[in-house]
Amino acid sequence: MLDVVALGELLIDFTCVSADAGGYPTMAAHPGGAPANFLAAVTKFGGKTALLGKVGADTFGRLLTGTLEKAGIETRGIVASSDVFTTLAFVTLDEHGDREFAFSRKPGADTQLRWEEIDPAMLAESRVFHFGSLSCTDEPARTATQKAAAYARAHGRLVTYDPNYRAPLWKTEQEAREQILWGLSQADIVKISDEETQFLWDCSPEEGAERVLALGAKLVMVTLGPKGCLLKNKQADFSCGCPKVHPIDTTGAGDIFGGSAVSRFLELGKAPEALTRDDLAYMARYAAAAASLSTEASGAIPSIPKKEAVLQKMQEAYCVQADAHR
């Protein structure tokens, strides 16, 4: 049985390496896509995973599929199409050092996944179904995502969700809010950023966590950038900062946080609503350490640290044994 099946984008992230005198960047290509990054972290830390998605029948599509196979992610649910190109994302920095995103996705292969191309047995075979909002920006992937979520819920599978809001990919902010709120209403576990709680409700991360729980989630994990994270269910909460690192590329860090946290959730073997404060502390510290370490290397999937490095960073940063909660 699979631990996690995810549905969504598998794409190439182009990140800036340098720029010439005129400001034109030299860019490096890395495998990416939030659900793929998420699964790579779950797999790295012991889970069995698979991705449902679509790529082009092109060089990038073949490279991406091969990367997932090397990472141990099952790829039989990935469709290669000769009608569309693999989606490309370009990550640059503005004058303030903040990331800006641009996409070659009109359409991109990931938006063209149809429900008829999905094997429902893969959803039924998995403990967890994971998805994000970017598979809901366009049809037919939106309908495919909605049907997959409904199928997973009907078969009693746990659903996890990460909005991963990217403004350039939505026609309007209203449409984005509507689709993200729908996704939140489907989920048992939600990973969301402080920027996304601000976008949705113009509120603090703490209030945002309460709002997510009110929509039906049993556990919410709010990432706070370099300030750390907040994990909360209806009986307990825990916050921690991030370990000190020397970041060079933050691409995919939030996805790696989510996948790392869910990997520890699966290890604990409890219902999300039954997690104690000690359980939340273990998940938060592990995920924060893994995500922080990932920023010290380029790319998302290639930067996921080994478990031993994560445990060592936990001990250094939080002065606790990694398994002290158990």
Provide the pLDDT for residue 101: 85
Q: Please state, in angstroms and as integers, the Cα–Cα distance from residue 52 to each residue in 8, 88, 107, 123, 237, following that order.
A: 7, 18, 18, 10, 33
Domain 2-8+33-78+110-318, CATH class in plain words:
alpha beta
Domain ranges of the chain: 2-8+33-78+110-318
To the nearest 10 degrees (0 to 180), the angle between helices 141-154 and 173-186 is 20
Provide the pLDDT for residue 324: 53
φ, ψ (nearest 5 deg) of residue 153? -65, -40
pLDDT of residue 321 exceeding 70: no
pLDDT of residue 97 exceeding 70: no
DSSP state of 97: S
Q: Do 48 and 31 meet the contact criterion of CB atoms below 8 Å apart?
A: no
| Distance in angstroms (rounded) separating the CA atoms of residues 185 and 183 | 5
Provide the pLDDT for residue 251: 86
Long-range residue pairs from 279-283, CB within 8 A, at least 24 positions apart, any chain: 279/325, 280/231, 280/232, 280/233, 280/236, 280/237, 280/238, 281/238, 281/240, 281/325, 282/322, 282/323, 282/325, 282/326, 283/221, 283/231
To the nearest 10 degrees (0 to 180), the angle between helices 307-318 and 277-294 is 110
Give the residue, 178 or 91, on which the prediction is more confident: 178
pLDDT digit string, tens, across residues 108-125: 999 999 999 999 999 999
